[in-house]
Amino acid sequence: MLYNVVEIQEILPHRYPFLLVDRITDLKKGEYIEGFKNISISEPVFQGHFPDHPIYPGVMIIEGMAQAGGVLAFKSMTNASREEIANKVVYFMSIDKAKFRSPVTPGDQLVYKINVLKNRGAVWQLDAKAYVDDKVVAQAELKAMIVDK
């Protein structure tokens, strides 16, 4: 384990119920990150999606992958101080080639694997995949930019 949820909250501004990364397990600055979210029936989203057939929404999977990508972008800022990072936020620019391959349900562990396709200054282009039991359940190309708050 590299970062637990408390340490992730020092990096990302997201909080319950919208912090969608529980742990970061691997990271190589400027190259890739791996982390996960445990999917529980106690997630607020399952009250309406769907009451008798709980399916974790695809948009939440995309957001979780983006949050993991945000951790990667922030941790790849080699010369930035903690204070400088605290005054920045990551904004989504685009989501391309999104595909949802299999439903995610309570009890699953959603593993995010994000690889850098390009990085030019504050702009990051990422290849993002989400897995359950080593099977790809979702994938997308994400583009984001680090900006001042």
Q: Which domains can be identified in the chain, with CATH numbers? A: 5-148 (3.10.129.10)
pTM above 0.75, yes or no: yes
Q: Which residues are catalytic?
A: 49
pLDDT tens for the 149 residues of the chain, in order:
899 999 999 899 999 999 999 999 999 999 999 999 999 999 999 999 999 999 999 999 999 999 999 999 999 987 777 788 888 999 999 999 999 999 999 999 999 999 999 999 999 999 999 999 999 999 999 999 999 98
Q: Which two tokens stand for residue 77?
A: 């800022």
* Lookup: tokens for 55: 């399916």
